[in-house]
Amino acid sequence: MATTEVPQYKKKDFASDQEVRWCPGCGDYSILNAVQTVFARLGIPREKFVVVSGIGCSSRFPYYMNTYGMHTVHGRAPGIASGVKLANPDLSVWVVTGDGDALAIGGNHFIHALRRNIDIKILLFNNRIYGLTKGQASPTSPRGKRTASTPFGVLDPPFNPISVALGVGATFVARTVDRFGKHLQEVLERAARHKGSALVEIYQNCVIFNQGAYDYLTDKEGRYEHALYLEHGKPLRFGKDLEKGIRLNRWRPEVVRVDEVGEDELLVHDEKSPSPAEAFLLAQMDYPEFPVPLGVFRDVEAPSLEEEMVHQTEEIRQKTHEDLLDLLRGKNHWEVK
């Protein structure tokens, strides 16, 4: 039987001929570079990729990818991507969305795509602002943030995308940062190889309306002092010399010095745990009280929706022996007079 050899791709093979139009310095450029680089490594034919987006600056993404793609309507990208995957399970389907697109008007589509464990990859660019529509507060804007729509400060508490995903049972949940190129690529590649729904929250800088939102994490000191890099099976340590760690004190995390308590006291990360409890605890940790967890929070196996649909369809076919003529002549029909 003849086999089709997959071409050896390079990053440039996934770049379209369209001029990339984001603001100079926008974090979207580095994410685009990372996605194109990772796609070239996956060994998947280029015609098997589909990139689906909603509305927002990030949603220009399909135009810049030399793959199949759709620029859809506000908040509906996960629903449309789900239809694409269910219609053709062999495709590698990716959703590109923003914090406003996914968590405001698209909230239900977002959570149900993850809940159903459809094998699509959702990249959520979180700049904590509405960029395309000129700087209004988004569902992830921090309390007190002054924006075009909240001139006296945001009053409502922000969404935590990681917690939302874990709450609906997502089987792969991760976080990375636009400026951390190597880490970004590693997380994207792991999401790509996961079978089932995957959420990758990407902290992304908006240079026009929310410049410096993540400076505490991306500056020279913050990369070590304010970031906690998650590694499965390893204790939670951070700091330039890994001198600090996280331990539990009556089910509450606390920052400790490793030389004072010993490494055995530290919480060991388990991304494979059937329960999302530990991952949810980590998702609640945030600056300035805690370092910001980066990497894979959860990666567990579960049947994907499209697999279960294929199995269900086959079972029904095996139980049904009627051909079309028998069906038309059967008892379940209407008599039109």
Whether the predicted pLDDT of 332 surpasses 90: no
pLDDT for position 314 = 84
pLDDT at residue 337 greater than cutoff 70: no
Of the candidates 91, 280, 251, 270, the residue with the CA atom closest to the CA atom of residue 169: 280
| Mean pLDDT, range 147-152, rounded to an integer | 95
- Please count the residues of the chain: 337
Q: What is the mean pLDDT of residues 65-88?
A: 96
> pLDDT digits over 253-298, tens only?
999 999 999 999 999 999 999 999 999 999 999 999 999 999 999 9
pLDDT, residue 301, reads 96
- Which of the listed CATH numbers 3.40.50.970, 3.30.360.10, 1.10.645.10, 2.40.50.460 matches domain 11-213+300-310? 3.40.50.970
**Per-residue confidence (pLDDT) for residue 62, from 0 to 100:** 98
Average pLDDT over residues 151-157: 96
For residue 335, what pLDDT is reported?
Answer: 67
Q: For the segment 204-218, what is each residue's pLDDT rounded down to a tens digit?
A: 999 999 999 999 999
What is the DSSP code string of 163-228? Answer: HHHHHTT-SEEEEEETT-HHHHHHHHHHHHH-SS-EEEEEE---TTTSTTTTHHHHSTTHHHHSEE
Predicted confidence at residue 226, as pLDDT, reads 97
Q: Residues 123, 96: contact at Cβ < 8 Å?
A: yes
pLDDT band at residue 2 using 50, 70 and 90 as cut-offs: low
Return the pLDDT at 321. 61
Structure confidence at residue 326 (pLDDT): 72
- Going by C-alpha positions, the residue among 141, 276, 253, 143 that lies closest to residue 199 is 276
pLDDT-derived band of residue 333, with 50, 70 and 90 as boundaries?
low
Q: Quick one: how many helices (H) and strands (E) in the chain?
A: 12, 11
Which residue, 40, 327, 61, is CA-closest to 202?
61
User: CA–CA separation, 162 vs 140, rounded Å?
Assistant: 11
CA-to-CA dists, residue 68 to 120, 129, 265, 286, angstroms: 15, 28, 50, 37
**Measured CA angle at 152 (ends 125, 24), to 5 deg:** 35
Sign for the CA dihedral angle at 176, 181, 185, 186 comes to negative
Are 37 and 15 spatial neighbours (Cβ–Cβ below 8 Å)?
Answer: no
Q: What is the pLDDT of residue 317?
A: 79
* pLDDT score of 3: 55
21 has a pLDDT exceeding 90: yes
In the structure, what pLDDT confidence band is assigned to residue 17 with cuts at 50, 70 and 90?
very high
The mean per-residue pLDDT over the stretch 307-332 comes to: 77
Answer yes or no: is pLDDT of 318 > 90.
no
- pLDDT band per the 50, 70, 90 thresholds, residue 319: confident
Mean pLDDT of the chain: 94
Question: If you average pLDDT over residues 314-332, what whole number do you get?
Answer: 73
pLDDT, residue 316, reads 80
Share of the chain above pLDDT 70, in %: 96
Residue 150, pLDDT above cutoff 80? yes
Report, as an integer, the average pLDDT of 67-95.
96
Judged against a pLDDT cut of 80, whether residue 57 lies above it is answered with yes
How confident is the model over 194-203, as a mean pLDDT?
98
Helix residue spans in the chain (DSSP H): 28-41, 77-87, 99-100, 107-115, 161-167, 181-193, 215-218, 222-225, 258-261, 277-283, 305-319, 324-328
Least confident of 42-46, 152-156, 188-192, 326-330: 326-330
Give the pLDDT confidence score for residue 4 in this predicted structure. 64
